[in-house]
């Protein structure tokens, strides 16, 4: 599920970034892991920022690729993060890019050396 989440987010970032780049990072924050996907793409207007996680929702905008998807990639991200007990946050500025953060609970098992130490 995590591979699908990150894959969908990176795919979108690459699709809408014509200049600049995409950064993917992960770091532990307390009892969670935060995954950041940051791009220098076209950005998302404020009125669309919550709706883009809805199934079949697509933004009609200049600069969007001709090979439009079905509007399920980010809905899948939202659904999978919910299943994992995770949280997804989005910050975006039109013309500057988008920053998506995924907060995952940090799971430890009996065989985890961190827990035994």
Domains (range + CATH), the chain: 2-106 (3.30.565.10)
pLDDT tens by residue, 45-59? 888 888 777 777 677
- Given a contact cutoff of 8 angstroms between Cβ atoms, the answer to whether 65 and 73 are in contact is no
Low-confidence ranges of the chain (pLDDT < 70): 57, 60-71, 108-117
Q: Determine the pLDDT at residue 21.
A: 95
Q: Determine the pLDDT at residue 38.
A: 97
- The dihedral through the CA atoms of 102, 54, 74, 17 has a sign that is negative
Q: Determine the pLDDT at residue 113.
A: 56
Q: Determine the pLDDT at residue 71.
A: 67
Residues facing residue 25 across a β-bridge: 36
Q: Determine the pLDDT at residue 111.
A: 62
Rounded distance between C-alpha atoms, residue 15 and residue 9, angstroms:
10
Residue 103: name the closest of 20, 37, 23, 35 by CA. 35
Residue 18: name the closest of 105, 80, 110, 97 by CA. 97
């Amino acid at each position: 599920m995590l591979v699908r989440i990150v894959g969908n987010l990176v795919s979108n970032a690459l699709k809408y970034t014509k200049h600049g780049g995409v950064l993917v990072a992960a770091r532990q924050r307390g009892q969670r892991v935060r995954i950041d996907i940051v791009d220098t793409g076209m950005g998302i207007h404020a009125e669309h920022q919550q709706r883009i996680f809805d199934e079949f929702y697509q933004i009609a905008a200049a600069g969007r690729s001709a090979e439009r998807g079905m509007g399920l990639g980010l809905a899948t991200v939202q659904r999978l993060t919910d299943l994992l007990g995770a949280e997804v946050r989005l910050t975006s500025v039109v013309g500057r890019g988008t920053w998506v953060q995924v907060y995952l609970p940090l799971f430890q098992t009996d065989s985890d050396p961190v827990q035994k130490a």
